[in-house]
Every structure is written in C-alpha cells, then in structure tokens.
Chain A
Amino acid sequence: MEKSAVFNRSKLLPYALLAPQLIITFVFFYWPASQAVLQSFKREDAFGLVSEFVGLENYQALFAQPEYYKAMLVTLVFSTLVAGLSLSIALLFASQADKNLKAAQAYKTFMIWPYAVAPAVAGVLWFFIFHPSLGTLARPLRGLGLDWNPLLNGNHAMTLVVMSAVWKQIAYNFLFFLAGLQSIPKSVIEAGAIDGAGPMRRFWTIIFPLLSPTTFFLLVVNIVYVFFDTFGIIDAVTGGGPAGATTTMVYKVYADGRLGGDLGGSAAQSVVLMVIVVALTAVQFKYVERKVQY
C-alpha cells in the first residue's frame, strides 16, 4: 500500500510545511559547510585583515605533514575503541537493567547522569582522577607497580581519553538500548525459552537481531560523536599530547584553527573530515543497513 498525502488546495503548502526543517538544515549545515569549503581555498590572518585565494595550497600543505597522517591513525584507533567499547558496555548494562530488578528505576537514572556532564568538565574530572601525582586512582596504580604516566606515555594517555569519552557516551547508548530492549515483544523471547534456548542463545539469536535498528542508529551516532564531539574531552585531559599521541583529526582542526590562527589550513582539515564522515555514513547505510531487520 502506497502511503501518500494529497494536497489539493495549494501547491505551496507542502513546501511551507517543509520549510522549518529545510531552513534549519541550511543555516546549521549547508551554510557553515560551504563557508568551510570556501575558507579552505584561502589564506587569511587571524583578524581577517588580509585574505587571498591560494587554490589548493592549504590541502597540499596538509597532506605534506607527517603529523596529519599520524592524526588519522590516532583517530582510527580512538574511534574504534570508543565506539566499540561504549556500544558493547552500554548493551551489557542495558540488558542487565532490563531485568526485573529492585530499584531498577534508580539504577537507570544513575546510568543516565554522566550524559548531562559537559565534555570539558568530564575531561577535567578524569584528568584529576588519573593525574600521575595528584590523582586519587593514579596513586594506587603506581602502588601496584605500574608506572602510570599519561603525561609522557602515549598509550596511557590514549587509555585515559578513551575511558573519558566512553564513560560519557555509555549513558546515551544505554538509554537507546534499554528502549530498544523494552520494545521487543516478550512472547518471542518466551517462545524461544520454551523451545529450550538458553539465555545466551536467546540473546544472540532473538534479541540481538531484533535490536539491530537501534544498534545501527547508535553506530552512526557514535561514529559522529567520536569524530566531532570529543575534542572538548581531549583538550581537557591531554591537550592532544604527549607528543601528539591523542591528537585526533578534529582536535587538530581545533588546535590549528583556534590556537594557531591558521584558518585556511584548519578549514581544509574540516573539509577532509567532513568528506570522511559522509563517506563512512554512506558506507554504513549501504552495507551495514542491509543486515538490519526492521
């Protein structure tokens, strides 16, 4: 059955109804994005006093930097870890919270709280908890004989930013997974149980496939999150260091543009980042979505 609405009165009405959404998309996406593309072909001082068209020079300079490829690699590691961990941990928590628990409501509420914490605040929090000499958790770690030092050890610093970013994102993922789990009809699961499937088997053959629309949605949202929204955390926890070990692509955009005042180079990086994320999302919709069962 075809779903369609017919507007007989006015040809303008559908456009008028669409307008608010279109205007928002235009103002908050197309317009700034086009400005970024334009800016990436220019060289400008911080004050905008001198501006000249330099063609692809910003892009050439960008791809000649070994640091840029390093940032790409860091981004790959960071995004895989953050998306993977925050999704799987949130799913674990949600499947546990979905059971009949005492004080389930309180448990759920506590789980959601971290999402309300601003990224910079979350970052500062983790920075202090794990600061090698000031941190409340760093001291016991050092006591155990681990030479914990995120100020110099790149892997430690990466662990720290991944933990902070995951901690914040779990709440969001948890909420969606829980809603997804609650919408799965109990009868299906009970039928599986009657047929003799154990809890693990029920989870992987019934619940997980039925949850796939939620999982797919979260995958897309999480990728966007790690690519764009994590620079606040990185800035507060490590400032991209040590030695660039936690400088992701979006952090580099921020560092070069805001700290360095190199708006052209920074814009070129944003464009590259935008292309990558658009491509990633397209790939997800084309290939991953096929496996999703609505």
Chain B
Amino acid sequence: MMLRHFGLATTLATTLALATPAHAVTELQWWHAMTGANNDVVNKLAADFNASQSDYKVTPSFKGGYADTMNAGIAAFRAGNAPHIMQVFEVGTATMMSATGAIKPVYQLMKDAGEPFDPKAYLPTITGYYSTSKGDMLSFPFNSSSTVMWINKDELKKAGIADIPKTWPEVFAAAKKLKASGHETCGFSNAWASWVHIEQFSAWHNVAIGTKANGLDGFDTELKFNSPLHVKHLQNLIDLQKDKTYDYAGRANAGEARFGSGECAIFLTSSGYYGTAKGTAKFDFTSAPMPYYPDVAGAPQNSIIGGASLWVMGGKKPEEYKGVAKFFAFLSDTNRQAKLHQESGYLPITKAAYEKTKADGFYEKNPILQTPLKELTNKEPTENSRGLRFGNMVQMRELWAEEIEAALAGKKTAQEALDAAVSRGNAMLRTFEKTAK
C-alpha cells in the first residue's frame, strides 16, 4: 500500500516537472575581469537583468586580469566547458575573431534570436573596433575608454602655465616649466607606452600603424609605424628623458600613481583612470584631449578605443543564445546605458545614450567624462583611425614597449628601435596569419 502510494507520488512529481519546462531557468555564465567599483557594476547589471525576467539567470564570475580571463576562457574552451559570455580586452579581438567555431558573432546571435538589433544605433568608433570590414558586429562592446591627458591644474598654475597645452611642443614647453618649478623627476609621463605612443598617436595623426586599415581588412597586414613622424616623436621623448622632463613610467598602468601622488603633473593614460583619480588625487585635476603635432596636416583626427567587449562562445544551445541576446538588448537600453556611463565613467555605446546624457546637461557638470567622447567623435574615422586588429596583439604590445624602452635607455636610436619593433612585429603577424587561416 505504502509502496503504491510512493510510486504514485513519484509519477505525479515527474509529470509535474515535465509539464513545466517553460519555467526552468536557463543559466548563463559570464566571465569578466572587472575589479573594485567596476566589479559591483557587473554584479548589479546581472542582478537587474535576472530580476527583470524569469527565464534566464546570468551568473557573473571574476576570472582575474584581462589576460588571465582570456586565457581561462580559452583553456575552458579547449576542455569543452567555455562560458556563454566572456569579456575580452580590445587587443584580444584578432585572436577571438580568427577562432571561427569557437565564437558566435553577435550580429548572427541577434538575428537567430530575433531580437531587435540595429548596428547603426551604436557609436561607430566603438563598434568599428569589434566589427568585420563589412560592418558586421562580432562582439558586444562593454567597457570602452580612450587615451586622455590628465592635468594637475594646481601645479600648472604654480608653474605659471596659463593654458592647458594642446600640442606636443606646448606639452614639452610646459613640462620644462614644471621641471623648473620643482617637478625634478617628472615633467610629464604616461602609462601603457605602446597604446599611447604608437596606437593612439598614429590614429590621432591619421598615419597608419599597419597596412590593410591597421589590419581590420585582413590578417596579411604589415606594420608601418616606423614613419618619419613616429621617429620624430620618439626622438623627442628620448631627448627629454635625459633630464627627466619626460620620465618613462612602465608598460602597464602602475605609473598612474605618479599622477595621483602629484609627482607628474601631466600624464597620458586611459579615461578609465577617472574613478581612481577621483579617489586618490588631493588636488584640482581635469582631463584634456591628447596633444598633437600642429605641422601634421589634418591632425588631430580621432582617437581609438581601449577597454573590453563581450564575446559569445560557440557550441551552446539555441535557448541559451536566446537568453544572451535578451541580455545584450537589455544592456543596450538607452536609459540603462546613460546611467551606466554617468555612474561608472565607461563610454556610452549607443548614440541615443550619448545624446541623452548631453541633453541632461551632465557634461556641463562633468566635462572630464566628455573628453574621450570628443576625441573619438572628433572627425569621421579614416582607414588609419577606425581601429586596429593585429594577431598576437597582447604580446606585440609588450614587444613594442621593449623597443621603446631600449630607445629611451639610449641603447638604440629612435629609428633603430622602431625598425626593430616593426620587423619583430611583422614576424609575429606572419606566424599568426599561418594559424588563423
């Protein structure tokens, strides 16, 4: 008797469970590399999305720095359990897009899921970086930034510099004044040496980093940044390094602390430094557009982005993709984008969110957050400023920095260093081209 009841109960329970598959929650894994305040942003976005509907649950997990997250994702893919969504920094783009089959392009994802998706709604300087040459969006831009020049207004005033320098010669002159007024160890400096002095510098002056629209149009690209303009700029830095009017501050962004501490009063780094600057700098600071050489025709052009985008991994179930598509639509919502931008300092990814923030009068109170947007939208992007896509870019940046270091240390001339950076980089591109076929 008991046994029969038990059997009945089990059958009932099974039937019930089978009858309600629509309410089963599909879990979506989101691997990311955001720390501190940005980590909270990620968790809040996921929580808001999960609360907004009941079919899907996005689970974010922190996987370490950018390179670590990417490596973890690649290793997971090789082991057959990749996450659904993976945050990859901009220099990993070529590696990701060449991995046909390992990824699901975003435009394809949105089409399959039938989500409304207009690629023209997004800021072209941002999506261009993550799209094919035909304009198909491959990954979903998440946190974007650009290089800006951070200015310690108090120290500039003390050194008798009335206006924020706009051109490189003005920056050099200001740095000399700063040095004379007590900044003996650093007139100006920068973080991310390769990003600032090669990638952004080239786009801002509308000169090529490489052929084939900086690699966007094909992996058979060749590096070109040993032009006379690049050599001239590096030579200026070499000359100024000798007496520390310019002082090199390392490859990554540890050197940013030299701005926060007041040591360097002019410092070029990511616009994403805003949050840290707000927390650490005990002086009046602002951001200004990157300097340019006035004798270069057409300069300044427009800057290119840094930061990261969200890649959708391949080999998942259709209903899971549907959830990812819904999540991306959720992220693109104008009000949500505008709020995200204003609170975190990330660039808005849709035109509507940018316009809304402008209309709200937000930039009058926070001009610092508009600097990178002004740079990105300064002019219609050209072949040289649409973005860049080189294989092995993660290591290539290190290699370029190595050569810049050799030049600044006086071991190589500017020309020798840039020639070596180009030829070593080209060798790396050829290796990549062979595997990316």
Contacts and interface: CB of A to CB of B under 8 A. Distances in A.
B405 A242 contact: yes
Interface string B235-262: 0000001000001111110110110010
A243 B402 contact: yes
Contacts of A239: 251-252, 398
B186 interface: yes
B248 A152 contact: yes
B431 A133 contact: no
Contact of A43 (B71, B185, B408, B435): B435
A244 B402 contact: yes
Contact of A243 (B99, B406, B434): B406
Interface string A38-56: 0000011111111000000
Contact of A241 (B99, B251, B428): B251
Given A43-B434, A48-B78, A152-B248, A133 B186 contact: yes
Interface string A131-162: 11110000000100000000111100000000
A243 B409 contact: yes
A133 B395 contact: no
A45 to B, nearest CB: 4
A53 to B, nearest CB: 13
Contacts of B241: 152
A152 B411 CA distance: 10
Contacts of A123: none
Interface stretch (A22-30, A165-173, A253-261): A253-261
B101 interface: yes
Nearest to A54: B434
Given A239-B398, A258-B67, A259-B395, A47 B405 contact: no
A50 B435 contact: yes
B95 A261 contact: yes
Interface in A208-243: 239-243
Nearest to B82: A47
B400 to A, nearest CB: 11
A258 B99 CA distance: 16
Contacts of B67: 258-259
A243 B421 CA distance: 11
A151 B248 contact: yes
B435 A44 contact: yes
B231 interface: no
B394 interface: yes
A188 to B, nearest CB: 53
A265 interface: yes
Contact of B406 (A47, A242, A265): A242
Contacts of A256: 395
Interface string B156-192: 0000000000000000000000000000011000000
Contacts of B277: none
B13 interface: no
Contacts of B250: 151
A240 B100 CA distance: 32
Query: Interface size bucket, A side?
Result: 20 to 34
B74 interface: yes
B392 interface: yes
A47 B398 contact: no
A152 B394 contact: no
Given A154-B409, A265-B431, A49 B251 contact: no
Given A45-B435, A49-B99, A151-B250, A243 B405 contact: yes
A127 B402 CA distance: 18
Contacts of A44: 435
B92 to A, nearest CB: 9
A47 B103 CA distance: 10
Contacts of A259: 67, 394-395, 398
Contacts of B435: 43-45, 50
A47 B313 CA distance: 12
A131 to B, nearest CB: 7
A242 B409 contact: yes
A51 B424 CA distance: 24
Interface in A170-205: none
A255 B397 CA distance: 12
Contacts of B222: none
B358 to A, nearest CB: 38
A114 B402 CA distance: 31
B403 interface: yes
B299 interface: no
Nearest to B404: A243
Given A45-B436, A133-B185, A239-B251, A153 B409 contact: yes
B122 to A, nearest CB: 27
B248 A47 contact: no
Contacts of A241: 251, 398, 401-402, 405
Contacts of B408: 152
Interface of A: 43-50, 61, 67, 127, 131-134, 142, 151-154, 239-244, 255-256, 258-262, 265
Q: Which 7 A-B pairs have the closest CB atoms?
A: A260-B395, A243-B406, A242-B405, A45-B435, A259-B395, A243-B405, A47-B99
7 contacts: A45-B98, A47-B78, A133-B186, A151-B405, A243-B409, A255-B395, A255-B398
Given A46-B74, A61-B431, A152-B409, 9 more contacts: A43-B434, A45-B435, A48-B77, A133-B186, A134-B258, A152-B408, A259-B67, A259-B395, A260-B392
Interface of B: 67, 71, 74, 77-78, 95, 98-102, 185-186, 241, 247-252, 254-255, 257-258, 261, 263, 392, 394-395, 398, 401-403, 405-406, 408-409, 411, 424, 428, 431, 434-437
